[in-house]
Amino acid sequence: MGEDDRKPALQSVEVPTGGDAACWLPALCADCGAMIEGPPGAVCWRCGGTRREGD
Ligand SMILES: [Zn+2]
């Protein structure tokens, strides 16, 4: 009895600092619609077009 009262402490997820790579949101190519991942300004890997901006 009472064993369920002991809950394991939640382990805090350690977020590595020093990079904003995780902040890059995938964008769609304005020309072919392919998903482009990378920093702002990255060109489409399929057609070399630009990302669709504004939403
Ligand atoms: Zn494209």
Q: How far away, in angstroms, is 45 Cα from ligand 1 center?
A: 7
- The one-letter code for the residue type at 27 is A
Q: How far away, in angstroms, is 27 Cα from ligand 1 center?
A: 11
**For the chain, domain boundaries:** 24-55
Q: How far away, in angstroms, is 47 Cα from ligand 1 center?
A: 4
For residue range 12-53, list pLDDT tens digits in order. Answer: 766 556 555 556 667 899 999 999 988 878 899 999 999 887
pLDDT (mean) for 2-19: 66
Q: How far away, in angstroms, is 12 Cα from ligand 1 center?
A: 39
How many H helices and E strands in the chain? 0, 2
Q: Which residues pair with 35 in a beta bridge?
A: 28
Cα separation values, 46 from 13, 15, 40, Å: 35, 32, 17
Q: How far away, in angstroms, is 16 Cα from ligand 1 center?
A: 32
List phi, psi (to 5°) of 36: -110, 125
> Helix or strand or coil: residue 41?
coil
